[in-house]
Amino acid sequence: MRRVRGIIGEGKKACVQTFGCQQNEADSERLGGMLSEMGFEIIYDVKDADLILVNTCAVREHAELKALSITGQFKHLKDAKPSLLIGICGCMVTQEHRAGTIKHSYPYVDFLFGTSMLYKFPEILWDTLTKDKRQILWEDTGEGNIAEGLPVKREGGVKAWLSIMYGCNNFCTYCVVPYVRGRERSRRREDILAEARGLIAEGVQEITLLGQNVNSYGNDLGTEGDFADLLDDICRIDGDFRLRFMTSHPKDASRKLIDVMAANDKIEKHFHLPLQSGDDRVLKAMNRRYTRESYLSLVGYMREKMPEIAITTDIIVGFPGETEEEFENTLDMLRRVRFDNIYSFIYSKRRGTPAEKMSDQIPDWVKKDRFARLLKVQDEISIAKNGELVGKTVPVLVEGRSKTDPARLTGRTAGNKLVHFTGDDALIGTRIDLHITQAETHSLFGEREK
């Protein structure tokens, strides 16, 4: 990094644009940290940048097309400022066909690299600056060793992501993640605990542990314990902080994990548990390896141990072969579980996955109709669940000004529900009690008790 700092000169500015999941956001924080160490000032307006880095997602085609569209808009910036460096990294460019598209159709992109090459970024940038050749490094298995000690550039001190593992071994038939992020690799427990201690010492109030399937943590390490043990260890660290985690796979979510959650006040009582479909045949075709009944049993145990728990989920509509009756089984699961919120998606073909080649693809108009019906059912449940909090006083971590109404502050409850209220900036980063006065489908309104 010092080599790069020595040749870029003073006053250079870099902008990192991120698409996709929280893991991508955590990766971008490390990319920003490395850029800062190399002498760049991190900014948020591409028009003023000397280097633009786009960190991409491949989970859905829409995310890929958006990243490509944004990159296309940078051509005029490069024309006006030939010295501008443009790079693309992340999941999308780990796919050969997307890397090929960028190589041939976006000649003004100077470098690209895949997900497990993140730690090589300074070397890649050095080669870009010193060699008269584009750096196109898409051939990346994502199965290398985990690089520890990379610098991190975080936006604020209230909340922080903490990656505990990378990759995925599950191979759901619709999902490209195992192909672009590689097999599961767990970080060593001592490295995770050291990072957690550092965050807590800095005053971070809420830490979210990240992994494609956090419940698989430690399976590749052998003797260091499982995810529930890791949670318990972090909770033993002194300090006023709270823990969240995502994402959990239902096939690996254990009662031990639920018991640890119930026993520790530092773990927020919110569980994101992707269902994807409420029909057993579709779940089998998805290679999810659990059933409706096993899922319901898990939810029942959660609510037995933690009656106040908020449960959210992911749903895919229109998976190949999904019949009307099978879709109705998904609606039935929404009504049975009564999720606090869902993250719903229309099935998107992913190149190289088994589902892409399934012959019984669902027409777009059917998928859109089912998607609308799914949202209607869940919206009624969500506003009813939120309405149960009206009149109650709940603890809230204040995160900052509302993005939609700067006159209000925004915070989140233990159940990860958004709450808007009027208050001073001095409250940001603190936990306060709010009396809930109004409920909407996706948020709450409250006021401080006098």
Summarize pLDDT for 189-219 with one digit per residue, the tens: 999 999 999 999 999 999 999 999 999 999 9
Residue 191's pLDDT is 95
Interval 243-247 mean pLDDT: 96
Residue 71 has pLDDT above 90, yes or no: yes
If one compares 143 and 22, the residue with the highest pLDDT of the two is 22
Helices (runs of H) and strands (runs of E) counted in the chain: 14, 19
* Beta carbons of 305 and 273 less than 8 angstroms apart: no
Structure tokens belonging to residue 249: 């796979």
Interval 159-170 mean pLDDT: 94
- Give me the sign of the Cα torsion angle 420, 423, 428, 429: negative
Task: Please count the other Cβ atoms lying within 10 Å of the Cβ belonging to residue 69.
Answer: 9
Q: Nearest-5° angle of CA 375, CA 377, CA 380?
A: 100
Residue 1's pLDDT is 66
DSSP-H helix ranges across 286-363: 292-305, 324-337
Task: Please count the other Cβ atoms lying within 10 Å of the Cβ belonging to residue 92.
Answer: 30
**3-class secondary structure, 427:** helix
DSSP code, position 328: H
Query: Phi, psi at residue 310, to the nearest 5°?
Result: -100, 130
Q: How far is CA 105 from the centre of its chain?
A: 29
pLDDT in tens, 77-134: 999 999 999 999 999 998 888 989 999 999 999 999 988 888 899 999 988 988 878 8
Residue 3's pLDDT is 75
Residue 168 has pLDDT above 90, yes or no: yes
pLDDT in tens, 93-105: 988 889 899 999 9
If one compares 328 and 130, the residue with the highest pLDDT of the two is 328
Lowest model confidence (mean pLDDT) among 33-37, 95-99, 164-168, 349-353: 95-99
Domain 393-448: CATH superfamily is Nucleic acid-binding proteins (2.40.50.140)
Residue 9 has pLDDT above 80, yes or no: no
For 281-306, letters b (16+ CB in 10 Å) and e give: ebbebbebebebeebeebbebbeeeb
pLDDT averaged over every residue in the chain: 93
**Packing angle between helix 22-37 and helix 121-130, nearest 10 degrees?**
50
Residue 298 has pLDDT above 70, yes or no: yes
Candidates 145, 83, 134; CA nearest to 112 is 134
Determine what percent of the chain is predicted with pLDDT higher than 70.
97
Residue 209's pLDDT is 98
The CATH classification number of 154-268 equals: 3.30.750.210
CA–CA distance, 317 with 292 (Å, rounded to integer): 16
Residue 146's pLDDT is 76
Residue 140's pLDDT is 52
If one compares 145 and 63, the residue with the highest pLDDT of the two is 63
CA–CA distance, 276 with 344 (Å, rounded to integer): 8
CA–CA distance, 9 with 68 (Å, rounded to integer): 30
Structure tokens belonging to residue 66: 């958006």
* Beta carbons of 40 and 51 less than 8 angstroms apart: yes
CA–CA distance, 416 with 308 (Å, rounded to integer): 12
* Beta carbons of 64 and 94 less than 8 angstroms apart: no
Q: Nearest-5° angle of CA 205, CA 254, CA 271?
A: 40
Domain 2-137 in CATH 3.40.50.12160: yes
Residue 144's pLDDT is 56
Interval 36-48 mean pLDDT: 93
CA–CA distance, 394 with 385 (Å, rounded to integer): 14
CA–CA distance, 261 with 250 (Å, rounded to integer): 16
Could you give the residue range(s) of every CATH 2.40.50.140 domain in the chain? 393-448
Structure tokens belonging to residue 239: 């300090």
pLDDT in tens, 272-297: 999 999 999 999 999 999 999 999 99
Domain 272-388 in CATH 3.30.750.200: yes
Determine what percent of the chain is predicted with pLDDT higher than 90.
81
**pTM reported for the whole predicted model:** 0.93
Could you give the residue range(s) of every CATH 3.30.750.210 domain in the chain? 154-268
Could you give the residue range(s) of every CATH 3.40.50.12160 domain in the chain? 2-137
Please report, as a single letter, which amino acid is at residue 283.
L
Query: Quick one: pLDDT band at residue 394, thresholds 50, 70, 90?
Result: very high
Task: Please count the other Cβ atoms lying within 10 Å of the Cβ belonging to residue 390.
Answer: 14
CA–CA distance, 92 with 90 (Å, rounded to integer): 6
